[in-house]
A and B are shown apart, each in its own frame.
Chain A
Amino acid sequence: MKRFWQRAFGKLWLAAVFLFLYLPLLFMVVFSFNSTRQDSEFTGFSLRWYDALTRDTKIVDGFWLSIQVATAAGLASAVLATFAAFVLVRYRRFVGRTLFSGMVNAPLVMPEVVIGLSLLLLMVGIQNTFGWPQRGMLTIVMGHTLLGMAYGMVVVQSRLQEMDRAIEEAAMDLGARPIQVFFLVTMPNIVQAILAAFLLAFTLSFDDVVIAEFLSGPGVNTLPQVIFGYARRGINPTIYAAATLLIVSVTLVVIGYSVWVARQTRKREREMNAAVRAELTALQAH
């Protein structure tokens, strides 16, 4: 009896917290289809906010800018994160290692406002000295890369630490050059983590308001900046329509990625099993 109540309580708690986590998403999906501007009562089904969304040039421009910024920041972050993780895992001793690990990790705990402000001061300084770059897309990408690199590094680092060094040493013994070892042996082993780092940095960039607000120039507004501007002014179901499209695409990407990972793992297991079986039959044949 006691067990039953415990289990019922557990299920109820899980359901309640999941409801809390999904309520805002549900709310936006429902009211994106509302026929009127209000978001307190559902007055009827309509697609007018989706229509308004496609006509809203600020949102559409912001979306394309954000895609470009996030792709650039994601790629730069993934590359730099791989470098940084490699340095931290493989090079135990070099001059300034403590400073290096401190600098890689610091953006994880720094308030975004502080990162944004200090980068703005840097950009102003550089611009005053060299007359370049203007605040805009490039400066936002630089700011997002700093953040994305830190998060991506954590992901790649943990994968590199798990990796079996013996296969790299084997490749070296067989005469592969270091650069060959990296691209033919190390890379295939950590490619999943690098992809995860890219996705994480992409999402962080696509979602960021604070750093973009500090580093963007006049007329350059990423999608979150446009939405933030609208959001401060009051109800705007066009945003709910944008949110619904985002929720649907993120759900598809996340499900797709996890299916890919599951399939990859299964494939590897199958190959392992096949190899073990082949070995066994060979042994039996002896």
Chain B
Amino acid sequence: MALASPLGRRFVIGVPYAWLVVFFLLPFLILLYISFVDMGNDISPFKPIWDSATGLLTLKYENYNSIFRMGEDGALFQTLYIEAYVRSLWYALCTAVLCLLLGYPFAYFIARSKPSVRPALLMMVMLPFWTSFLLRVYAWKGILADQGVVNQALMALGLIHEPVQMLYTNVSMLVGMTYVYLPFMVLPLYANLVKMDFRLLEAAYDLGTTPFKAFWLVTVPLSKAGIIAGFMLVFIPCVGEFIIPSLLGGPENIMIGRVVWDEMFTSNNWPRASALAVVMIGLIVVPLAMYYHFTAESAESKN
């Protein structure tokens, strides 16, 4: 033990532990608590859980009910909130797929390039990532505008005759999200592919497979762990994305992060904003649990 004395040990554990309890656990518990109370009146944004008049503790499920149901006994799952959740998941899925299609060959070719140029290529992938995310998203606003560079280029090539609206549509949303999250896909894929034994491919060729078939039957299955890791790294942050829909999306493209924001600051409905956030955490925990299950399983099968 580097710090063997019990006092030193207690100090080293205690400092980060206390910090996390105060700034992570406690806020989460407050969030959970407020999601179960009523909206307050006058100045206080929410009512306490303990009713001083009756002396009863009551959990209110109204906030959750209003997320899933229109009105008291309306149809299930037909609210604007559910639409926003589904849209967020859908964008996250599309972005992850696009990143994979674009990023897999990219990572593959970097992994197969000369070892001397690999660090420089990786540095070039990382560099945009270190410059402001916000500014890079903002630039797409100009690039994809009706009179923007892309429309001008397409018109100069004669592919279109008048500007196509790309900004504030699904196109600009997906371009922006794919652009921002591509490095998150490329880096785990690269880390996986660079370790691969390319003699296995040679063996497949010697046995008479076509390059395409060899790729599907040898390379892809061997890089499964990298694909899943990259997919998670893109999918999870995409679900809660806030900036990209705010800058590149129209009113049609509102995602759940924005809905939480509006509920908090525009409607001033703290309990409902909290309930929406709690459901959002639930949405992210499910794919994460599946991921951990998968990695645990593959680690087991390796042993």
Binding site for B on A (CB under 8 A): 2, 6, 10-11, 13-14, 17-18, 20-25, 27-28, 31, 38-40, 80, 83-84, 86-87, 90-91, 94, 96, 100, 103-104, 106-107, 109-114, 117-122, 125, 142, 145-146, 149, 168, 172, 178-179, 181-182, 186, 203, 206-207, 209-210, 224, 227-228, 231-232, 235, 239-240, 242-243, 246-247, 250-251, 253-254, 258
| Residues from chain B with Cβ under 8 Å of A227 in the complex | 132, 134-135, 138
Which single residue of chain B is at the shortest CB-CB distance from A249? B131
Q: Please indicate the chain B residues that have their CB under 8 angstroms from the CB of A125 in the complex.
A: 30
Hey, which chain B residues are within 8 Å of A10, CB to CB? 105, 109, 112-113
| CB <8 Å contact, B17 and A247 | no
* The one of B127, B140, B242, B274 that contacts A250, using a Cβ cutoff of 8 Å: B127
Asked whether any CB of chain A lies closer than 8 Å to the CB of B231, the reply is no
Tell me which of A38, A87, A90, A247 contacts B131 (CB under 8 A). Answer: A247
CB neighbours of B270 from chain A (8 A): 121
Q: Which residues of A contact B31 (CB under 8 A)?
A: 114, 117-118, 121
Given known contacts A94-B13, A114-B277, what 15 new A-B pairs fall within 8 Å (CB)?
A14-B113, A17-B106, A21-B124, A24-B143, A27-B142, A84-B20, A100-B16, A100-B20, A111-B281, A113-B240, A117-B273, A118-B277, A122-B27, A243-B138, A258-B123
> For the complex, what is the distance from the CA of A11 to the CA of B105, rounded to whole Å?
11
B237 at the interface (CB under 8 A from A): yes
Bound-state CA distance A209–B134 (Å) is: 8
Question: Which residues of the other chain, B, contact A113 by a CB distance below 8 angstroms?
Answer: 240, 242, 257, 260-261, 277, 280
Chain B CB within 10 Å, residue with most, of A84, A182, A206? A84
Known: A107-B24, A178-B3, A254-B123. A87 touches B143 (CB 8 A): no
Residues in chain A near residue B236, CB distance under 8 A: 109
Asked if B211 lies at the interface with its beta carbon under 8 angstroms from chain A, I say yes
Contact flag A40-B134 (CB < 8 Å), given A109-B288, A111-B284, A114-B240: no
For the complex, give the distance between the alpha carbons of A88 and B138 in Å. Answer: 39
Residue B15 at the A interface, CB < 8 A? yes
Minimum C-beta distance from A7 to chain B (A): 9
**CB-nearest residue of chain B to A171:** B2
Interface size on B, residues (CB 8 A): 82
Which one of B13, B110, B123, B140 has the highest number of Cβ atoms from chain A below 10 Å of its Cβ? B13
Q: Does B250 contact A (CB under 8 A)?
A: no
Contact of A6 (CB < 8 Å), options: B1, B17, B124, B211: B211
Ordered by A's residue number, 13 sampled pairs between the chains whose C-beta atoms are within 8 Å are A40-B145, A80-B16, A96-B17, A103-B20, A113-B242, A121-B27, A178-B3, A178-B4, A186-B2, A210-B257, A228-B243, A253-B130, A254-B130
The smallest beta-carbon distance between A49 and chain B, in angstroms, is: 13
Query: Which 6 pairs show the lowest CB-CB distances between chains A and B?
Result: A111-B240, A24-B139, A118-B27, A122-B27, A10-B109, A40-B147
Q: Is the CB of B24 within 8 A of A2?
A: no
Residues in B lying within 8 Å of A, measured CB to CB: 1-5, 8-9, 12-13, 15-17, 19-21, 23-28, 30-31, 34, 102-103, 105-106, 109-110, 112-113, 119, 121, 123-128, 130-136, 138-143, 145, 147-149, 152, 179, 182-183, 211, 236-237, 239-240, 242-243, 246-247, 257, 260-261, 264, 270, 273-274, 277, 280-281, 284, 288
Nearest-CB residue, chain B, relative to A94: B13
Contact status A80-B19, CB under 8 Å: yes
* Cross-chain contact A243 with B3 (CB below 8 angstroms): no
Flag if A122 contacts B152 (CB, 8 Å): no
Q: Which of A91, A122, A250 contacts B130 (CB 8 A)?
A: A250
In the assembled complex, the CB of B190 is this many whole angstroms from the nearest CB of chain A, namely 12
Q: How near does chain A come to B294, taking the closest CB pair, in angstroms?
A: 16
Given the known inter-chain contacts A24-B140, A178-B2, please indicate yes or no for A91 contacting B9, CB distance below 8 A.
yes
B25 surroundings in chain A (CB, below 8 A): 103
**Residue from A96, A103, A149, A258 with most neighbouring chain B CB atoms (10 Å):** A103
Q: Which residue of A lies closest to B150 (CB)?
A: A23
CB of A197 to closest CB in B, whole Å: 13
- Complex partner residue of A232 from B9, B13, B17, B246, CB under 8 angstroms: B246
Q: Are the CB atoms of A104 and B20 closer together than 8 Å?
A: yes
A27 and B140 alpha carbons, distance in the complex (Å): 9
With A17-B102, A250-B131 known as contacts, the answer to whether A25 contacts B136 (CB < 8 A) is: yes
Query: How far does the alpha carbon of A86 sit from the alpha carbon of B261 in the complex, in Å?
Result: 36
A114 to B24, CA, bound (A): 11
Q: How far is the CA of A173 from the CA of B135 in the complex (A)?
A: 54
